[in-house]
Amino acid sequence: MLEALNRTVTVGLSETGLAVVLGQGLLRQRREVLQDKAFALGVVPSAEALGLQLSESLAGVNTKTRGGRLHVVLSDDLVRLFMVTPPGNLTRLDDCKAAAAMRFQVLYDASPQGWHLQSDINPQRAFLCVAVSDTLRRTIMQVAEAQGLVLVQLAPVFVAAFNRWRHKLPAHAWFCVLHGNTLTLAVVSNRRITAVRSLSDDDALAHPQWLRQAVRREALQSDLPLPECIYLCSDVPGPSRAAAPEPEHPRVVVLQAERPKSLTHPAAASGLAEVLGWP
């Protein structure tokens, strides 16, 4: 029983692949990659198809994972991230929830029904909201129960990475996560997110100069001063992501752990180690 309590199962799930990582130990966990697989290229799986892939992968390693705590990290292209401004006539927290639902409808021209909205509500300032489809959320919960796992976290990779690194950020550094082909950029002030943008430009994302231009454009549009530096959390290693800060302004500082040799292919879900900063 005690061994199961010290067992953590982390799943990275995206439209292109999934990874299952087992963590064991109380103070400093030893991590073992149990699954690391890519899906068929050119096929965008449905929530049900993702659930089936997850179920098959966890069933194959059930003897090692059963009874553990399950953390599911979703790629940002599987969720919707947006900021919500609390209403001026706020009287209760439900008013913030209603504002989030209305903001979702305005941004995506769709009803929030069928989506689970989760946010760290702050009645004093704008707050980040995450929308996950009810179908995907329900499917993951059912798989966890069927495999004898306790689901303790379901979060997009951007939120998981920001929570991991936020205390290491300077007060006015901006933060972004490149995971797969999606770059999620956060405008940060005093380590609080004030705006969030999702960007995609294929190969251009790999170049620091492209990132600087995107940040300059965002600062200009939002009438904000340029940050002194941009902290980039990336799952794609390469020469363009040198860890040393560069002299151009704003500086790009890369937060990246060494890629475990047991991760065998560059599927988006397999970047857990780099994005979350695992040793």
| Domain of residue 27, CATH code | 3.30.420.40
Angle between the 134-146 and 47-59 helix axes, to the nearest 10 degrees? 20
Q: 129 and 116 in contact (C-beta within 8 Å)?
A: no
- The per-residue pLDDT for 123 is 85
56 lies in the same domain as 151: yes
User: With left for phi above 0 and alpha for psi between -120 and 50, is residue 29 left, alpha or beta?
Assistant: beta
**Residue 208: partners with Cβ closer than 8 Å, 6 or more residues away:** 232, 240, 241, 246, 248, 252
Does 91 lie in the same domain as 22?
Answer: no
Q: Do 66 and 141 belong to one domain?
A: yes
Same domain, 262 and 215: yes
Residue 55 shares a structural domain with residue 124: no
What's 203's domain CATH number? Answer: 3.30.420
Say if residues 167 and 200 touch (Cβ distance below 8 Å): no
Do both 121 and 27 map to the same domain? no
Both 272 and 163 in one domain: the answer is yes
Residue 17, judged by CB atoms within 10 A of its CB (0-12, 13-18, 19+), counts as: buried
Tell me what pLDDT residue 52 has. 93
Q: What is the pLDDT of residue 40?
A: 79
For residue 113, give every residue at least 6 positions away whose Cβ sits within 8 Å of its Cβ, in sequence order, or none: none
Residues 44 and 90 placed together within one structural domain of the fold: no
Domain co-membership, 125 together with 205: no
The pLDDT assigned to 31 comes to 81
Where among 90, 117, 132 does a domain terminate? 132
Q: How many domains does the chain have?
A: 3
Does 12 share its domain with 146?
yes
Do 15 and 112 fall into the same domain? no
Task: Write a three-state SS string for 227-254.
Answer: CCEEEEEECCCCHHHCCCCCCCCCEEEE
Residue ranges making up the domain that contains 58: 2-75+134-157
Domain edge (last residue) among 157, 190, 212: 157
Residues 120 and 169 occupy one common structural domain = no
pLDDT for position 93: 84
- pLDDT score at 236: 53
Per-residue pLDDT of the chain (279 residues; tens, 9 = 90+): 445 557 899 999 988 889 999 988 766 668 888 988 888 777 778 999 999 999 999 999 999 999 999 999 999 989 999 999 998 887 788 899 999 999 999 999 999 999 999 998 888 889 999 999 999 999 999 999 999 999 999 999 999 999 888 888 888 889 998 877 788 999 988 888 999 998 876 555 556 788 888 889 888 988 888 998 899 887 654 434 444 445 577 888 887 554 444 443 333 445 666 566 554
Which residues, in sequence order, are bridge partners of residue 24? 7, 30
Among 142, 157, 172, the domain-final residue is: 157
Per-residue confidence (pLDDT) for residue 4, from 0 to 100: 56
